[in-house]
Amino acid sequence: MNEKMTFCEECRTDVAYYCERVPLKGSLKGEEYSYTGNKAVCTECGTEVYAAEIEDGNLKALYDAYRQKNGIISLEKILEIPRKYNIGKRPLSLLLGWGEMTFTRYCDGDMPTKQYSDMLQKIYGDPAFYLSFLEENKGNLRSQIAYEKSKRQTAEFLGRPINKASKVDAVIGYLLFQCEDITPLALQKALYYIQGFYFAFMKVFLFVDDCEAWVHGPVYREIYNRYSNYRFDQIESNGEFDVSVFTDAEKAVIDSVIQHLCCYSGKILERFTHSEMPWIKTRGYLPSDAHSNRIIAKEDIGEYFSAVRQKYNMLTPNDIENYAQVMFNRTMRS
């Protein structure tokens, strides 16, 4: 065990020292405070010696006395808040509407004002209040991920169920994050292929949502309504995404569709779907330009893409590339 050493003026050399608890007095912001601190004592001659570690501890004890008398939140509680609610120091400061580095300074020992201290005390002691405040002020955050992580941990701490985004919404968020220029038409087709190929590999559907056999191919109506204002323009992304919402199998299929099918335009993908059984069967004898809200049966989607997987001997989702290439070549010849 290493002894703590410091210089002793009496012994004129570096010596080991020990600590004694002593009553102390100190002034802070014009007021005097009594508190208990420590003094360092030379083990050789018994003289009080200077030790930076002891002095730092005594200064903290003085600040703690000031905090206690004036109702200022303790440093320990300040440091606990980011861990308790799974949020970074800067995001928390922004959430509170403070300067970006304000909370960080408080973590480093700076004294908050009484107003800021009262807010931190409220947050520390009332997780339900924090969760409500987070929801109301999430627009202050620069990161959606910071909001979601903090909300998830706080809700779990309170034992509350979390209203998670639907799987199709999560996939849309990831597609917009990964694809720089995806249009509403291309988005619809990407969702359709993810649904089909996920079933082919996993024998369950990724979405509960149904798509309809519209003139321009399979369409998820609610998603169409959501992004209809973009018309032929690319859909804007919020610039970030937390991929931990997906399992490895989900991400593998989605990534393969992005790589091997989303490289084509929405119009090309539309032509792909026009030659595939689910859309053709659902449309039946409707004229090519006739509007329809007929739902493409999930059974037909599952049957078709399972057959595709078998025909093209797909061992992993990355083998979707073979099907995409064949479909593209066939489309270019027609």
CATH number at residue 33: 3.10.20
* Residue 147 near residue 141, CB atoms below 8 Å: yes
pLDDT of residue 175: 95
Last residue of a domain, one of 158, 193, 214: 158
Shared-domain flag, residues 175 and 271: yes
* Residue 182 near residue 234, CB atoms below 8 Å: yes
Strands 31-42 and 13-28: antiparallel
What range does the domain containing 21 cover?
Answer: 5-70
Last residue of a domain, one of 25, 52, 70: 70
Shared-domain flag, residues 261 and 302: yes
Enter the tokens of residue 173: 């968020």
Between residues 21 and 2, the one the model is more confident about? 21
Q: In this predicted model, what pLDDT tens digit does every residue of 259-318 receive, in sequence order?
A: 999 999 999 999 999 999 999 999 999 998 999 999 999 999 999 999 999 999 999 999
Check pLDDT > 50 for residue 1. Answer: no
Enter the tokens of residue 22: 């002593």
Shared-domain flag, residues 187 and 270: yes
Strands 5-8 and 217-219: unpaired
Give CA–CA dist 121/203, Å, rounded: 51
Shared-domain flag, residues 30 and 103: no
Residue 262: how many other CB atoms lie within 10 Å: 24
Last residue of a domain, one of 158, 185, 201: 158
Mean pLDDT, to the nearest integer, of 195-220?
95
For residue 190, give every residue at least 6 positions away whose Cβ sits within 8 Å of its Cβ, in sequence order, or none. Answer: 175, 179, 182, 257, 258, 261, 262, 269
Residue 48: how many other CB atoms lie within 10 Å: 16
Shared-domain flag, residues 182 and 283: yes
Hey, what long-range contacts does 121-130 have (CB within 8 A, 24 or more apart)?
A: 121/73, 121/77, 123/81, 123/85, 124/73, 124/77, 124/80, 124/81, 124/84, 127/84, 127/85, 127/154, 127/157, 127/158, 128/158, 130/85, 130/154
Structure confidence at residue 245 as a pLDDT band (50, 70, 90) = confident
Give CA–CA dist 15/40, Å, rounded: 11
Shared-domain flag, residues 11 and 94: no
Calculated CA dihedral for residues 161, 166, 171, 176, nearest 10 degrees: -90
Number of domains in the chain: 3
Shared-domain flag, residues 261 and 310: yes
